[in-house]
Amino acid sequence: MNPKIYQTFQQSELDAVLMYHALAQNAKSDAEKALLLRLGAIEGKHAAVLRGITENGELQPTDAMAKPIALLERFAGRRVTYFLVSLGEKAAYYLYQPLAKQHPELQTNAKEETEHGDTLQWLAKAIK
Ligand SMILES: [Fe+2]
Ligand SMILES: [Fe+2]
């Protein structure tokens, strides 16, 4: 597998941190905000695991995910946005699988993406 793929994942995890920060800014309760920030912190941990593989400490978080998701949230609202992001999280589990074959430590990242998907769907349903 092209080793560049690990850097691509590392960048996506870093970008996901800022996406959750952006979502947390528009949370409607302290509990919702804390939950989103917790998910963001886990994405940061995922990036660190990948950094251990790529040994690339130069990558920085960008707003590549935060920007379009914040825009989506403005027009579609929190419920739809959380649901759509949950689908990305659940897809991420499967995207991780070929990488986890070579680096089994990535299986924890993969499983936590599924949990993020579940958390977001729970949150989406909790919104009236
Ligand atoms: Fe992640
Ligand atoms: Fe995630």
pLDDT tens digits, one per residue of 17-72: 999 999 999 999 999 999 999 999 999 999 999 999 999 999 999 999 999 999 99
Q: How many whole angstroms from 43 Cα to the centroid of ligand 1?
A: 4
Domain of residue 68 covers 4-126
Q: Report pTM.
A: 0.96
Number of domains in the chain: 1
CB 79 within 8 A of CB 127: yes
* Per-chain residues with Cβ under 5 A from ion ligand 1: 13, 43, 46
Tens-place pLDDT, residues 62-90: 999 999 999 999 999 999 999 999 999 99
CB 89 within 8 A of CB 46: no
Residue with tokens 């917790």: 38
State the Cα–Cα distance between residues 18 and 16, nearest whole angstrom: 5
Q: How many whole angstroms from 109 Cα to the centroid of ligand 1?
A: 6
- The CATH number given to whatever domain includes residue 118 is 1.20.1260
Q: How many whole angstroms from 113 Cα to the centroid of ligand 1?
A: 6
